[in-house]
Structure 1
Amino acid sequence: MTSKRNRAAPAPGRPALSATRRAATRREVAMVAAHLFIENGYTATTVDDIAAAAGMGLRTFYRYFAGKEDVVAPLLAIGTQAWADELAACPPDVPLREALSRSYRTATAGTLAAEGIAETSLRPLVRAATQLPALRATWLRVQHDCETRLIPILAARTGRSADDLDVALTAAMANTAVRLATELWAAGKGPDSAADVVDTCLARLATQSLL
């Protein structure tokens, strides 16, 4: 029998396996819910529907989510995480505004392809996330997390400190431009591609701060 003293401690900075599995399960259920929301509408889809489609009981569902409104958080976060990852990987010689636009377009296309979802079919879901009071708080929380994620990436690209006010302002403006663009796109205003609306909004910031 292995003593507690001899057990290997988890590597610092790495999430525990249970946390990794929990995040993966939340994402899987979120994608199941997304397909139901797209097919039947957010209001018409119940927690029972989501749990049944995900192959889990209600008690298990509530171990992962506080309620139906919480299910969309992992789904919305997929796109923002992919955008941040693509921006971090964008060559440093690419101008910042172009890097923001290019990384968003690449992240969106890659995420949709990986999840097998047509971009236009997401409009009702994103519109619900941006307009329904029950989901609006989740939408804004995901956006805040994205803004926080952008700060060290922008600091690295511009050679400034993450504490630099211009870096924080640029992250806030870039993220707000993308959020507003996404909301306009979801409302059916502008081109069919969200990335095209994002390009337009980011272009309006071209003379501001580090952009």
Structure 2
Amino acid sequence: MISERNRPAPGPGRPTLSETRRAATRREVALVAAQLFAENGYTATTVDDIAAAAGMGLRTFYRYFPGKEDVVAPLLSTGTQAWAAELANCPPDLPLREALSRSYRTATAAALAREGIAETLLRPLLRAATELPALRATWLRVQQDCETRLIPIIAARSGRPTDDLDVALTAAMANTAVRLATERWAAGEGPDSAADAVDTCLTRLVTHNLL
């Protein structure tokens, strides 16, 4: 057994054990909160309700989240982070539009399965995130983070520098297409599947020569 004193230090960019545990706890609490929001509504659900359902005290809750509006961020970012990671692993010769669509579909399905989230829970969560002012800011922060993650990936695929304007525009358009698709899907518009809704939006970008 390796003692704590002799345990190797995490490599560059790798999270420490405490960071990993903290992230896992945040996801667990976020999932509990999402379930409560789906059952009782965002407004009717209090921080006390979330903390009690998660089996923690209020002081502990606030060590993980600044407020109730921030509690869904881990769930919202799970899919976007998985999408970026999956896109980075797509074959470089795959057309970008196809790579974006395929990576989103694969990553979303894997992330939902890994976190134990059903689309029946995801839909009301996204609807609340996009419609309620208190959650809208969190949703947009997650989207901005996703766009930032896409830039170096698209730059690598296109052989351009990360500060290239076309790379930034492509990342912004792709991310906006996915955001609008999921927002409309959450509102009950378009296909039954979020991945199909995303595919439709990305196709429209190609059809109009925007991607």
TM-score where L is the length of structure 1: 0.90
Residues 124 and 186, structure 1, Cα contact 8 Å, conserved in 2: yes
Distance 1:208 1:162, change over 3 A: farther
Matched, 1:195 2:204: no
Matched, 1:17 2:17: yes
Describe the SS at the equivalent of 2:120. helix
Distance 1:178 1:14 in 2: 28
- Counterpart of 2:3 in structure 1 is none
Structure 1 residue 109: deviation in Å?
A: 1.1
Structure 1 residue 9: deviation in Å?
A: 6.5
Which amino acid in structure 2 is aligned with residue 68 of structure 1?
K
- Counterpart of 1:87 in structure 2 is 87
TM-score where L is the length of structure 2: 0.90
Distance 1:28 1:96, change over 3 A: same
CA RMSD of aligned residues (A): 1.8
Which amino acid in structure 1 is aligned with residue 200 of structure 2?
T
- Counterpart of 1:3 in structure 2 is none
Percentage identity across aligned positions?
A: 84
- Give runs of ≥4 in structure 1 deviating > 4 Å: 6-11
Which amino acid in structure 2 is aligned with residue 195 of structure 1?
A
- Counterpart of 1:54 in structure 2 is 54
Distance 2:174 2:94 in 1: 16
- Counterpart of 1:33 in structure 2 is 33
Segments of 5+ residues of structure 2 without an aligned counterpart are: 1-5
Distance 2:202 2:10 in 1: 42
Cα deviation digits, residues 30-86 of structure 1 (max 9, x gap)? 112122222222222211111111111001001111111010111100010011111
Distance 2:201 2:40 in 1: 31
What aligned pairs does 1:1-211 form with structure 2 within 5 A after superposition?
11-206=11-206, 207-208=208-209, 211=211
Cα deviation digits, residues 76-116 of structure 1 (max 9, x gap)? 00010011111111111211000100111111111222222
Work out the number of aligned pairs and report it: 205
Q: Which moved more, 1:31-40 or 1:174-183?
A: 31-40
Which amino acid in structure 2 is aligned with residue 110 of structure 1?
A
Segments of 5+ residues of structure 1 without an aligned counterpart are: 1-5
Distance 1:79 1:159, change over 3 A: same
Distance 2:107 2:10 in 1: 31
